[in-house]
Amino acid sequence: MADTTSDTSAPRNVETTIAAIATPPGPGGIGIIRISGSQALPILTSLFSPNCKTTEYRSHRLYYGWINDPRTGQPIDEVMAVFMQAPKTYTREDIVEIQCHGSYLVLQDILGQVITLGAALAEPGEFTKRAFLNGRIDLTQAEAVIELLQAKTRQGLGLAMSQLQGRLGAMVSSIRTALISLRAIIEVAIDFPDDDVEIINARVMVEKLDREIIVPLQELIRSAKQGKIFRDGISVIILGHPNVGKSSLLNALLREERAIVTAIPGTTRDTIEEFLDIKGMPVRIIDTAGIRDNAEEVEEMGIVRARKKLAEADLVLLIVDGTQPPGAADARLYESVGDKKTLLVVNKIDLACQDDAVFAAAFPAIPRVFISARTHAGITDLENTLFTLVTGGSDWDPGYACVPNVRQRTSLEKSLSAAIRVADGLSSDLPPDLLAIELQSALDHLGDITGETTTDDILGLIFEQFCIGK
């Protein structure tokens, strides 16, 4: 079998033909080898024997045949192969895809032969990087590809798809166009400083700046804060004393028996983590050891871990036994939460539950829900309240919005700051050359989002997040 490790000493440029396995590791019905570059078709013709003999491969048409070892002529696998001619391809280069059986050994053998014939092993995200460098997509769409692959919920999937369709790029492009038109006026004023004609109408320019640049930037930044919830999700910890129903609550939320539930205090000795989809919001839910004094050694280790997870959580589900009035231990546990966003969960309403007024008096500053983890009563209300607490109850749909990620949001904030400085400068009659500097700064930060002014270091950080083969 040929060596498929990449040669880091070999020169690498956009002319290099690259290849990789494009399907996930592990056995499967079908595996795909992807090749991109000028040598893609010659490599295919050296390896592939189509069942229907041909001297010319038509673009975007599947051919059935065999991949053979070019040295021995021995067959490696029965495959379907397709040649896609530039520029109508993912990378805007010639692309070949070989669809073989999903055996690790078969895939490695075919890839090894491809590399022996002159292709280089693709780096993580290199196919998508070439699509960006060749102008098929902008950087917002390239980043949307990895968000699409990593989406945890359908809402997150819709958000990524919106970006992949170019909505954020189009919005940023519209703002850039408005900035360029303002810069053109400023540059005329710089070129003709002694002209008697009023070139800069500060009031009109400030109105345009506010309407076409500042407000749209503010809206994008606002959507980024909401979008982060649906893109990255939140961490929620279930906190409470032993036997108040923490593990039962986890099972109720998961709709399955994930955690062991017994009447013996201290059953949970470690944290248990699972993912939930609550109305499209990814939630990492963490069940913890019950917190109490005088715990034995192993249980105490679980309590230490629970407190560590508490420090890392975004939201706390503070669960109490609804059949008992809150006591001093409950008050101490609530104090340990600090200023973290907290939802009080009053459990065991299927039994003789205390009145709402009792819990309102003991926990006046936080919202509360009443549930039965055993019968699942109130679980939907808990999910709805948790969602509203995190999102503010917004009806915003990320599948139809322009939602920048953290990197993009940072650039938007810098561009907004520069645009505000331009507005302030116009109002205070700042010299045109200084206004031009701030306008260019705003443009450059927007260019960082779409990739027009992004440095190679940033591009490297973005594309190294991808898997090899995409």
Compute the distance between CA of residue 12 and CA of residue 130 in angstroms, rounded to an integer. 13
As annotated, the residues of the chain forming the CATH 3.40.50.300 domain(s) are 233-391
Q: Which of 244, 220, 42, 10 is nearest to 121 (CA)?
A: 10
Q: What is the pLDDT of residue 418?
A: 95
pTM, rounded to two decimals: 0.76
Q: Evaluate the omega torsion of the peptide bond into residue 431 and state whether it is cis, within 30 degrees of 0.
A: no
CATH, domain 233-391, list 3.40.50.300, 3.40.1280.10, 3.40.470.10, 1.10.1040.50: 3.40.50.300
Q: For the residues of 201-227, what is the DSSP string, one character each?
A: -HHHHHHHHIIIIIHHHHHHHHHHHHH
- Strand pairing category for 368-370 and 341-347: parallel
Compute the distance between CA of residue 455 and CA of residue 407 in angstroms, rounded to an integer. 13
Q: Would you say domain 18-122 falls under CATH 3.30.1360.120?
A: yes
CA distances from 400 to 143, 148, 165, 227, 403 (A): 17, 15, 11, 11, 9
Compute the distance between CA of residue 361 and CA of residue 384 in angstroms, rounded to an integer. 23
User: Per-10-residue mean pLDDT for the chain, 470 residues long?
Assistant: 44 81 89 96 95 87 94 92 96 96 94 95 93 92 88 83 88 93 86 60 88 93 82 86 85 70 44 83 80 46 63 87 88 85 91 86 90 92 91 59 82 95 90 90 93 82 82
Asked if 149 and 124 touch (Cβ cutoff 8 Å), the reply is: no
Q: Would you say domain 144-229+405-463 falls under CATH 1.10.8.60?
A: no
Q: What is the pLDDT of residue 259?
A: 45
As annotated, the residues of the chain forming the CATH 3.30.1360.120 domain(s) are 18-122
Residue 133, amino acid:
L
As annotated, the residues of the chain forming the CATH 1.20.120.430 domain(s) are 144-229+405-463
3-state SS, residue 368: strand
Compute the distance between CA of residue 45 and CA of residue 57 in angstroms, rounded to an integer. 9
- Which residues in 333-392 belong to E strands, given as ranges? 341-347, 368-370
